[in-house]
Amino acid sequence: MTQNSENAQFQGVKILVKEDFMESSKTARELYQTSYDCYHTGLFETSLEWIEQAIDANNKELNYFQLRGMILIKLNLYEKALKDFDWVIQRLANTKLFVEEEKLLQVEALLGRIQIYFQQKEYEGLIQDSNALLLIQRNHWQAFFYRGIGYYFNQTYAQALNDLDMAFYLSNQQDKVRPFRALAYFKHGKYALAQKDFEIAVKQKPHDGVLWYNYGLNAYRMQQFELALQNFDQALRLGLATSQTYLYKGKALQQLGRYTEAEKCRLKAQEI
């Protein structure tokens, strides 16, 4: 090998090392951005691999842990996700950030925890974090929505209806709110208002057996027994073959004077 070729090779190595060094100085941020892009295209497992590399490279960026928490939710790894959101919220208390940046991170972390509490049916946590979120953003529709759900399942129906009405008013995703508001109307005995919501909701979610069952209950309370029977039958066709479905189908049949069929439903309900 000549001196010139050795020098050229040596320079090439120096250039490569320099480029590698420049790349490595951007590694964490680039890994985060790649993970972010994968997350928003639905590649959650790939997104998780990238964000964990980003955290390994820089474990001081709260945004990285926030994103990992959101990815873990999509993968149904709720306990791990909860640890990330808890860590972000705890660190915010000791981190000097711009006010708006801090608010954004608090909102995202609280909303992440709220979604986990909803999945885990931890309604007290749902209410508490929704309250905290509303202290930061007083018109956050998802805070009203999830707090309303928390109140509903804690059987505080008046507060549930108030919150769900507010969420419906503020939201650009009213279809998400409508089935829960229908339930709150039902619990208040406002069956006509509930029926309007149920009529729309079952068209938007025609394969939701529980929704058809609840629609049937509301129709039964309105003494619309034929409609109630149709709704219970649809719930059964969709696989909601529970004792309650058969029980109320039998009651609707009895009100329609179809006593033999009603008795069969009653017996079926007892078998389940």
Query: For 221-264, what is each residue's pLDDT tens digit?
Result: 999 999 999 999 999 999 999 999 999 999 999 999 999 999 99
Residues 136/93, Cβ–Cβ less than 8 Å: no
Cα 179 to Cα 185: distance, rounded to the nearest angstrom? 10
Name the pTM for this structure. Answer: 0.82
Which pLDDT band holds residue 24 (cuts at 50, 70, 90)?
Answer: very low
Instruction: Average the pLDDT over 14-29 and give the result.
Output: 50
* Same CATH fold assignment for domains 15-120 and 206-272: yes
pLDDT of residue 96: 66
Domain ranges, ordered by start, for the chain: 15-120, 206-272
Cα 78 to Cα 185: distance, rounded to the nearest angstrom? 31
Q: Is residue 14 scored above 90 in pLDDT?
A: no
Which pLDDT band holds residue 26 (cuts at 50, 70, 90)?
Answer: low
**Residues above pLDDT 90, as percent of the chain:** 83
Alpha-helical (H) ranges within the chain are 3-25, 27-39, 44-57, 62-74, 78-92, 99-120, 123-136, 141-153, 157-170, 174-187, 191-204, 209-221, 225-237, 243-255, 259-271
Tokens 């990815």 label which residue? 71
Number of other residues whose CB lies within 10 A of the CB of residue 85:
26
* pLDDT tens figures, 134-193: 999 999 999 999 999 999 999 999 999 999 999 999 999 999 999 999 999 999 999 999
- The token duo for 267 is 């017996």
pLDDT of residue 102: 80
Phi, psi of 80 (to 5 degrees): -65, -40
Instruction: Average the pLDDT over 113-138 and give the result.
Output: 95
Q: Which amino acid is at 199?
A: E
Number of other residues whose CB lies within 10 A of the CB of residue 24:
11
Of 190, 133, 128, 183, residue with least CA distance to 160: 183
User: End-to-end distance of the chain based on CA atoms, in angstroms?
Assistant: 86
Instruction: Average the pLDDT over 120-130 and give the result.
Output: 96
Which pLDDT band holds residue 27 (cuts at 50, 70, 90)?
Answer: confident
* pLDDT tens figures, 36-58: 999 999 999 999 999 999 999 99
Neighbouring C-alpha atoms within 13 Å toward the C-beta of 163: 24
- The token duo for 154 is 């804690």
Fold of 206-272: 1.25.40
**Residues above pLDDT 70, as percent of the chain:** 89
Cα 163 to Cα 165: distance, rounded to the nearest angstrom? 5
CATH code, residues 15-120? 1.25.40.10
Instruction: Average the pLDDT over 187-216 and give the result.
Output: 97
* pLDDT tens figures, 97-109: 667 778 888 999 9
Instruction: Average the pLDDT over 22-36 and give the result.
Output: 78
Q: Is residue 66 scored above 50 in pLDDT?
A: yes
